[in-house]
């Protein structure tokens, strides 16, 4: 059972997935910083100094912090936009690669021999 687990854990797909999760986590931190430190302050300036994260309403004993919810929605939309742009660029690149004309394959030994025979026959005529 230990050998099977090791084989499973070291399989290429699992390693690739682990790397993707780590990179995704780091990317998430970058996007969070972009939204919190750059985009949201600019939106706040455009809306007259409004800070979304501080928006809240007191309902009885509960504090409803709907500004954090707005912040989460903006984070989500920015992440979706960035992923869309990355995937669009990737798909465009893959399309260009697939549309590029493939170089004709080099003639095989049999084709070379047939070409020599053809050329010799043409010389006799």
pLDDT digits (tens, 9 = 90+) for 73-104: 877 887 788 778 888 998 888 888 777 677 77
Q: Which two tokens stand for residue 23?
A: 């990179």
- Report d(CA 31, CA 21) in Å as an integer: 15
DSSP, residue by residue, 21-67: HHHHHHHHHHHHHHIIIIIHHHHHHHTTS--GGG--EEETTEEE-HH
Model confidence, pTM: 0.50
Q: What is the CATH number of domain 2-124?
A: 1.10.1200.120
Virtual torsion, Cα 104, 107, 108, 109, nearest 10 deg: -170
Confidence band of 118 (pLDDT split at 50, 70, 90): very high
Cβ neighbours for 77, distance < 8 A, ≥ 6 positions apart? none
């Amino acid at each position: 059972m230990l050998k099977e687990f090791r084989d499973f854990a070291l399989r290429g797909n699992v390693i690739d997935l682990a790397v993707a999760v780590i990179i995704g986590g780091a990317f998430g931190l970058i996007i969070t910083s972009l939204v919190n430190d750059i985009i949201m302050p600019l939106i706040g300036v455009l809306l007259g100094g409004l800070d979304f994260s501080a928006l809240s309403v007191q309902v009885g004993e509960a504090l409803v912090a709907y500004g954090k919810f707005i912040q989460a929605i903006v984070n989500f939309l920015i992440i979706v936009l960035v992923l869309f742009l990355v995937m669009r660029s990737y798909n465009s690149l893959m399309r260009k690669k697939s549309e590029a004309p493939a170089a004709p394959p080099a003639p095989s030994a049999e084709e070379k021999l047939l070409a020599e025979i053809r050329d010799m026959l043409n010389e006799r005529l």
